[in-house]
Amino acid sequence: MDEIAVLIEPHIPALRRYAWALLRDDDAADDLVQDCLERALDRWHLQRRDGDLRAWLFAIQRNLFLNGLRQQARRGRHISMAVLADQPSREQSQDSRLAMRDILAALDSLPEEQRSALLLIGVEDLSYEAAARILGVPVGTIMSRLSRGREKLRRLLGSEPRAALRSVK
């Protein structure tokens, strides 16, 4: 069991970041990571020895997240008291808090597939191949989801991309 812990432990911070990015709630993110680790330990015998452990853990976590979304749709959304009593941080300026709120709201408005691709590649710095394995889709699908997600974020945040090519007559 100790050798399993040594293999899994370095991935916990990345799992935590991804969980928070998906849920935006510290307690729920901790619960998701804990559930992911519990499931990984319980199903360790199913993990391919020649496979990418990080991708396997992220896939477990994403599947648990999607199961939670389905369950939430059936039960209705739960809002914790901590969210209701959220106090702004004194360390951040008002402008940076507003910008962060806008970015998170824009990210939340993306379809789950695009949001997951953006988070895995942009935040967790995974390769397209690793993200494709986690999401269970071809690499080309990851590339198109990433492109569409980035484009939609640009539109939502009001920062249109610069034209790379010009028409010359």
For the stretch 103-131, pLDDT in tens is: 888 888 999 999 999 999 988 889 999 99
Contact between residue 48 and residue 2 where contact means Cβ atoms under 8 Å apart: no
For residue 11, which of 111, 103, 134, 141 has the smallest C-alpha distance? 134
What is the structure's pLDDT at 92? 61
What is the structure's pLDDT at 148? 94
Helix (H, G, I), strand (E, B) or coil at 39: helix
pLDDT tens, position by position, 62-77? 999 999 888 877 776 6
On average, the pLDDT of the chain sits at: 84
Rounded CA-CA distance 165/169 in Å is: 13
pTM (2 d.p.)? 0.62
For residue 36, pLDDT beyond 60: yes
In the chain, which ranges are continuous DSSP H helix?
2-8, 12-23, 26-42, 53-75, 81-84, 94-109, 112-118, 128-135, 139-157
> Would you state the structure tokens that stand for residue 153, as one six-digit string?
């974020």
Greater confidence (166 vs 2) lies with 2
Taken in order 13, 90, 22, 149, the sign of the CA dihedral is negative
